[in-house]
Every structure is written in C-alpha cells, then in structure tokens.
Amino acid sequence: MEALLFKATTLPDAWFQLVYALVKGEIPRNVYEIDKGSYVGQRRLEFPYVTVQIDQPGARPIIPEMPPLLNIPAPVEDMEYVDDYFARYLMGTEVAANETYIYGTWLAPGVERVIEQLRGAPGNNQAAICIGGWAPQPRHATPEGLPPDLALALDTDNFIDPGTGERDPACLRSVDFRLDADNTLHMCVYFRSWDLWGGFPANLAGLQLVKEYVGQALGAKDGKIIAASKGLHIYDHAVDVAATRLGMSDVSSMDDFVSWIGKDQA
C-alpha cells in the first residue's frame, strides 16, 4: 500500500482530479471483487491510501457540474439534495424505516460539543467526532447476553444491511475540527470505504455545510478540508459514466477498463 496525496482548489476540482487519476492516471490501483457489504457481486476500482487537501472547499459551486454535451447525469443531482442531506442525514437524528443508520446520530450532538470546545480555544485538539465503533456503557444499559469481558461496552455500528443480511458498518469514521490561531476553521475527515463517483461529492458538500455551521457559530473564517480513505473507489455500475466524462468512448464496463489498463497506453 502506498499513500497518495492530491491538492485541489475546490470540491469539484478535487473530485475531477481523483476520478481522472483513478481511471486514467499512472498510479497504483486495485480491482476488488465485492463479497461483503454494499453491491455484493460487483467489482470496484480502488485507490490504495489517498489523502486530498482542498484549499477552498466553500467556493461555489460545491458540487460537480457535467458538460451538457456529454448527456450523462451529474454525480449529485443539485444543491437541494445537498441541503436535505445536510439537514436530515448529517444534522438530523431520526432514522427512517428504510435506513440502517444516519451520521447525524453521532454528528448532531457532537457538533454542538465541538462548538463549545473550540469557542475561544484555538489549537484545541479535542474537537473530534467519532462515528460508530465501541462505546462505554453504564452497567444498567448493558444488553443482556453480552460477554463478561465486554460488559461495559456496546458495539454502536453493528448495522445489518437489509439487502445482504450482513454487517455493514458506517463508512464515515471520523470528523475532526481544527481552529487555527488566525481564527480559521479546518476539517479533517476519514472514510473507511468511499464511493468516489457519487458519494465523495455529496458527502464533502454536506460536510462543508457542517463546517460552515460550526464556523458561523464561532465567528471563524472558512478553512480547508483534508479528507483521507484507504478505500476510495468506483463501482462496476459507474465505470461507464466515469469513462464518458473522461472521453473514453471505448470503455463501457469494468471488463473494458481492465482490458484497457492492460494495454500499452503510450
């Protein structure tokens, strides 16, 4: 595994750079068969470990726009979708009947705590929100039947995917804030697994709105987003639109792509 670093100006710039690098760039990449989690039976084209620094994530537009002549759908429908994602999925706490979890379960209360931690405290290293994982529980809240060695802990992201019946833990794992001495607010995020085509632009646009919410509460300037993942990928079903976006008319499936990268591209 090699760590790759990308630097971008805006969120759409970061998305396009990463799509281009994963599909056309001369970089390490893998094709994995999916046997657990979402889209079992498909394959995914994946970076090793990647970090991207976005210097002006608040510059509008914060979602990619598709050239009309390509006649392919944008990865994020519109800003109305992002606004709803921010309000209901990131900052809401009500889980719908067809959902296994929402990030707001952890983010909504965590954001209010972060605001209090950072107010008047630049350089504070405690403004981190963890998503899922194991959490300590008081003994009276311990579920019956939990093994004695886990009597004070509860798995808070043991979610079962209704489509597969298997465990599918949350993809976003941490959101960490940094308020610099010059009163600029930055955000660092980590995803264990991350869909580059549609998930990356929607997730980061929504998280940028979270950062702006925190920044407004603090009276802070808007800073960078630094995002990392060891599982940033494009699925089988998105290879054709990604290839079309990059002008690769001879690639319409993962099989085509695997064949294409095996050729001499010089």
Output the domain CATH number for residue 122.
Answer: 3.30.572.10
SS3 of the chain: CCEEEEEECCHHHHHHHHHHHHHHCCCCCEEEECCCCCCCCCEEEECCEEEEEECCCCCCCCCCCCCHHHCCCCCCCCHHHHHHHHHHHHCCCCCCCCCCCCCHHHHHHHHHHHHHHHCCCCCCCCCEEECCCEEECCHHHCCCCCCHHHCCEEECCCCECCCCCCECCCCEEEEEEEECCCCEEEEEEEECCEECCCHHHHHHHHHHHHHHHHHHHHCCEEEEEEEEECCEEEEHHHHHHHHHHCCCCCCCCHHHHHHHHCCCCC
Q: Does the pLDDT of residue 147 top 80, yes or no?
A: no
List residues bridging with 234 in a β-sheet: 45
Q: Is residue 70 part of a domain?
A: yes
Residue identified by tokens 């998105």 is 238
75 part of a folded domain: yes
pLDDT at 146: 52
Task: Give pLDDT, residue 100.
Answer: 78
Tell me the pLDDT tens digit for each residue of 234-253.
Answer: 999 999 999 999 999 889 99
Residue 89 resides in a domain? yes
Structure tokens of 260?
Answer: 């294409």
pLDDT-based confidence at 162, cuts 50/70/90? Answer: low
Domains identified in the chain, total number: 1
Residue 153 has pLDDT above 80, yes or no: no
**pLDDT value for 145:** 57
- Predicted confidence (pLDDT) per residue in 169-187, tens digit: 899 999 999 999 999 999 9
* Whole-model pTM over 0.75: yes
Degrees to nearest 5, angle at CA 203 with 79 and 103: 115
In percent, the amount of the chain with pLDDT more than 70 equals 88
Domain span holding position 253: 3-132+170-261
For residue 138, being part of any structural domain is answered with no
Q: Is residue 33 part of a domain?
A: yes
Tell me if 152 is assigned to some domain: no
Of residues 162 and 219, the one with the higher pLDDT is 219
- 3-8 and 49-54 beta bridge pairing: parallel
